Amino acid sequence: FIVALGLLLMFVAALWLLIYFIFLPKNLLKNFTSNRSRKSFAKGLLALSEGKWKNAEKLLLTSTKNSPTPELGYMAAARAAIAQNKIEQAFSYLDEAENSTDNPLTVDLTRCELWIKTGKNKQAINLLNRILKSYPNNPRALHLLTQATQNAGHWQRLEEILPKVQRLEVMQEHKVKQLTQHSIVEQLNQAQSASELQSIWKRLNKKQKLELNTIQAFAENGLKLGIYDEVAKVAEQTLNKNFNTDLLEIWARLPVENHEKIKIGEKWLKKQPENAQLLKILGKLCLENKLWGKAKGYLEKSLNLEPSAQTFKLMARYFDTQGESENALEAYRQAEGTSNQLIVIDNNKVIDKTPEQDN
């Protein structure tokens, strides 16, 4: 019995050794090819970082053979292909990557990134929105969506995601604030109807309504869409507290009764007596109301402070109304060259209205 047991044990041991030696070369080969795959992947990434796109693509494709994570090689190869403008090939590699993994999230994010790089922003937005339904706090998806929505001009969607972008610190706070402000301004600029513009303005918070760029966008588009009373109210409230010549120019174009405009403008002039733009606008309003003396005074002072083609043309209009054709021609001539002085011919005597220079 003991002899039989010994023979049995020897047989089992021999069988185990036989199996071991049969499979040993395969294991060694597997380890060898796996090491080659890792080395090819590392060399491919290095070539990619150095801008050697063709070599990188070749090495990265080689690394996918016998790799435990071939999807990584395919995704990196897709980047190398994009760099060579091989668009179809790049997305073919991404398809291979997706077929090589059970979790396509990383592949989908890479696909979106490459879509954005190749101008397919709407496709990227659609996929990123689907990703964020399953992974609502994914930082890379949020970052890519901020890029795609900017590129595609989807300003409302951009504004919607920015609070989460800030909360998760996907982007620096000052950048989030800039993008928020920009998205609001673009929505105001692009509103197609008075009701749409009013709706956007209504949902803004108090702080946002105090931003000058926001106010100007609302006023400019509101003027085009005909909500004159609202634009006048917002513009005048702002100009009373924070005078701005760009907003003043928008306000000046409002079809409001000129006597009321002159009254409001002269109130501002008490606080802004040296503002050439305001003086020019008051001069224009007075011209339209046939207040000749006031018109001349405001326009001359504006020219003394800041000569401009527009103001010279208004001065020429004034001279035309007074029958002073030579003076009008001289003003028109200077409007073309925007001279720094106004030479007025009065009863055959030349009057030089050169602006005073600081000593």
The tokens for 214 are 């926001």
**Residue 208: burial class (beta carbons within 10 Å; 0-12, 13-18, 19+):** middle
Q: Judge whether 336 and 320 are in contact, CB under 8 Å.
A: no
What is the phi/psi pair of residue 353, to 5°? -100, 45
pLDDT (tens place) for every residue of the chain, 359 residues total: 554 555 545 544 554 444 444 444 444 334 445 677 788 888 888 888 888 989 888 888 888 887 888 888 888 888 898 889 898 988 888 888 888 888 889 999 999 999 999 999 999 999 999 999 999 999 999 999 999 999 999 999 999 999 999 999 999 999 999 999 999 999 999 999 999 999 999 999 999 999 999 999 999 999 999 999 999 999 999 999 999 999 999 999 999 888 999 999 999 999 999 999 999 999 999 999 999 999 999 999 999 999 999 999 999 999 999 999 999 999 999 998 755 555 554 543 434 444 444 43
Structure token pair of residue 275? 């503002």
How many CB atoms are located within 10 Å of the residue 160 CB?
A: 13
Reduced DSSP (H G I as helix, E B as strand, rest coil) percent helix, strand, coil of the chain, to 5 = 75, 0, 20
Looking at residue 18, its pLDDT comes to 43
Write the CATH number of the domain with boundaries 264-359.
Answer: 1.25.40.10
**Alpha-carbon gap, residue 155 to 181, rounded angstroms:** 10
At which residue do the structure tokens 């696909």 appear?
111
Cα torsion 193, 194, 196, 199 to 10°: value is 180
- Residue 344, pLDDT score: 54
Residue ranges of the alpha helices (H) in 84-172? 87-99, 105-117, 121-134, 139-152, 155-167
Residue 179's contacts (CB-CB under 8 Å, 6 or more residues apart) are: 146, 150, 158, 162, 171
Q: In this predicted structure, what is the pLDDT of residue 39?
A: 85
Contact between residue 216 and residue 206 where contact means Cβ atoms under 8 Å apart? no
Give the pair of three-digit tokens for residue 340.
């720094």
The rounded distance, in Å, linking the Cα atoms of 101 and 108 is: 11
Rounded Cα gap, residues 186 and 156, in angstroms: 9
Task: Give the end-to-end CA distance of the chain in Å, rounded to a whole number.
Answer: 127
Asked whether the beta carbons of 252 and 219 are under 8 A apart, the reply is no
